[in-house]
């Protein structure tokens, strides 16, 4: 977490923004929108302010501002106009860009206003699918390129978490099916719970009996649950934990806990991708994403 990038290549800007490097170079050379610096080895790089400015320029350009007009604005004017558009528009791409700006500027008011505008035309499920999931994928890309600070990620994910929990609380807890219990948890040292929180919301929305255990749960707890309920489907997300060499031993331990039952473990998350459990662990199933889990319900 301490190796976060503060210097970006033009390829980094392309990956993060979705705008081709060739286009960024034109904006830089023809319109002087960006001024890259040089390393001691004479390599060009862009700073955090350039990245934020690029996102604002894209938002303006996508809302009928010509690049020549944007180039005539001061940096302060670009920020103000981008924020004005962010507050006024609620189409998906603009909403996502607006939330990126809110994240980088730690702007909770902007986040809430964008969310309120989306809620006028969309259900919470649609907002999560059309706006929050693409935003979270963007955040994942920033982590992959070491572009995001923990403070930025925690800020935006906590705001999204609040919205999920508020909407979950609005669902009256009256399960229509008590035959099976869905127990949602994260393995020890795993704290990335947005996907799990949203899945809990969907389960309750469907009238299914779900129990949310949350972050960093020791495997012993699964055994404790089995002493209370007869038919359990455990659901977990592997984002950063367990480590690659610990996943199979983890599955072995889970299988041992469930050996005298028909209980199951469903696992989502990038850490579990590519692992084939069909022949080895009959009670453990791997899902590529949250959507595939919902389709299985």
Q: Is residue 76 part of a domain?
A: yes
pLDDT averaged over every residue in the chain: 84
Q: Does residue 24 register a pLDDT over 90?
A: yes
180 lies in the same domain as 135? no
Instruction: Quick: pLDDT tens for 225-261.
Output: 888 888 899 999 988 788 888 888 898 998 888 887 8
Number of domains present in the structure of the chain: 2
280 lies in the same domain as 179? yes
Instruction: Point out the domain boundary residue: 125, 151, 167.
Output: 167
Domain of 201 in residue numbering reads as 172-296
Instruction: Point out the domain boundary residue: 167, 193, 222.
Output: 167
CATH of the domain at 35: 1.10.1660
Confidence at residue 233, expressed as pLDDT on a 0 to 100 scale? 93
Q: Is residue 37 part of a domain?
A: yes
Q: What is the mean pLDDT of residues 24-50?
A: 88
Q: Is residue 151 part of a domain?
A: yes
Instruction: Point out the domain boundary residue: 167, 194, 225.
Output: 167
94 lies in the same domain as 176? no
Q: Does residue 297 register a pLDDT over 70?
A: yes
Q: Is residue 4 part of a domain?
A: no
Confidence at residue 143, expressed as pLDDT on a 0 to 100 scale? 63
What percentage of the chain has pLDDT greater than the value 70? 90
Q: Does residue 281 register a pLDDT over 90?
A: no
Confidence at residue 2, expressed as pLDDT on a 0 to 100 scale? 43
CATH of the domain at 265: 3.40.50.280
Confidence at residue 86, expressed as pLDDT on a 0 to 100 scale? 65
76 lies in the same domain as 191? no
Return the structure tokens found at 128. 């999560």
233 lies in the same domain as 191? yes
Confidence at residue 92, expressed as pLDDT on a 0 to 100 scale? 63
Q: What is the pTM of this model?
A: 0.69
Q: Check residues 70 and 224 and name the one with the higher pLDDT.
A: 70
Q: Is residue 1 part of a domain?
A: no
Q: What is the mean pLDDT of residues 108-119?
A: 92
Count of helices and strands (H, E) across the chain: 14, 7
133 lies in the same domain as 209? no
Q: Does residue 139 register a pLDDT over 90?
A: no
CA distance 13 to 246: 35
Confidence at residue 266, expressed as pLDDT on a 0 to 100 scale? 94
Q: Is residue 5 part of a domain?
A: no
91 lies in the same domain as 236? no
Q: Does residue 20 register a pLDDT over 80?
A: yes
Classify residue 57 by burial, with Cβ atoms within 10 Å: 0-12, 13-18, 19+.
buried
- Those residues whose C-beta lies under 8 Å from the C-beta of residue 33, and which sit 6 or more positions away, are 27, 53, 57, 67, 70, 71
Looking at 132-229, list the stretches that DSSP marks H as alpha helix, in order from N- to C-terminal side.
133-144, 150-169, 194-205, 220-226
Q: Is residue 155 part of a domain?
A: yes
91 lies in the same domain as 152? yes
Q: Does residue 106 register a pLDDT over 80?
A: yes
């Amino acid at each position: 977490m301490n190796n976060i990038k503060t210097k970006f290549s033009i390829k980094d800007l392309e990956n993060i923004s979705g705008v081709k490097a060739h286009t960024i170079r034109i904006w830089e050379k023809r319109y002087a929108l960006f001024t890259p610096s040089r390393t001691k080895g004479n390599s060009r790089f862009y700073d955090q302010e350039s990245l934020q400015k690029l996102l604002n320029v894209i938002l303006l350009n996508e809302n009928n501002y010509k690049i020549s007009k944007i180039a005539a604005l001061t940096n302060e004017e670009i920020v103000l106009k981008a924020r004005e558009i962010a507050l006024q528009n609620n189409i998906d791409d603009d909403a996502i860009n607006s939330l990126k700006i809110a994240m980088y500027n730690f702007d909770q008011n902007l986040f809430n206003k964008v969310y309120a505008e989306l809620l006028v035309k969309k259900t919470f499920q649609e907002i999560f699918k059309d706006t929050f999931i693409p935003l979270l994928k963007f955040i994942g890309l920033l982590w992959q390129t070491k572009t995001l600070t923990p403070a930025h990620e925690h800020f935006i994910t906590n705001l999204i978490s609040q919205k999920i929990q508020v909407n979950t609380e609005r669902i009256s807890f009256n399960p229509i099916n008590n035959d099976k219990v869905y127990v949602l948890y994260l393995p020890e040292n795993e704290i990335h719970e947005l996907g799990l929180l949203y899945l809990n919301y969907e389960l309750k929305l469907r009238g299914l009996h779900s129990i949310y255990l949350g972050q960093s749960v020791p495997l012993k707890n699964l055994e404790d649950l089995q002493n209370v309920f007869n038919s359990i489907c455990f659901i977990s997300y592997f984002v950063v934990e367990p480590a690659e060499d610990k996943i199979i031993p983890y599955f072995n331990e889970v299988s041992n806990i469930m050996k005298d039952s028909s209980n199951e473990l469903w696992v989502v998350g990038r850490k579990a991708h590519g692992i084939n459990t069909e022949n080895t662990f009959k009670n453990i199933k791997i899902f590529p994403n949250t959507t595939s889990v919902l389709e299985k319900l």
